Amino acid sequence: QVQLVESGGGLARPGGSLRLSCAASGFTEDDHSIGWFHQAPGKLREGVSCISSSAGKTAYAESTKGRFTISRDNSKKTVYLQMNNLKPEDTGVYYCAAREAIHYYCSLALSSYDYWGLGTDVTVSS
């Protein structure tokens, strides 16, 4: 049974940093892409960043380029999202999701993903 568990959320001040983790279990191989998604209060869920299964290709939403960095440690079956220079608009729930099968590139589209975690809350406020 595939399971994704996010952690690392919390309260940060504008300009501060947080590192989110997504621990994956239930996959027999590392043949899945991982995406991070953000849902701000009252808004739709949107793709933030992703990392592909085979080549480790990454993608970022325009609003996070230069501030967020995604990485994966296959030995720990964990994907990280390092969030720097946080802004109040980064507030919301962050979800990680997994897309099965090997893809050279990853996708920021919600519909591409097969499994979802329950999310972790991030609040950016002074």
Q: What is the mean pLDDT of residues 46-74?
A: 92
Angle at 19 between CA 16 and CA 24, to 5 degrees: 165
* pLDDT beyond 80 at 124: yes
Question: Rounded to whole angstroms, how far apart are CA atoms 101 and 1?
Answer: 16
* pLDDT beyond 90 at 71: yes
Segment 24-39, tens digit of pLDDT? 988 876 688 999 999 9
Q: Are 98 and 27 in contact (CB under 8 A)?
A: yes
User: 50: burial class by Cβ within 10 Å (0-12, 13-18, 19+)?
Assistant: buried
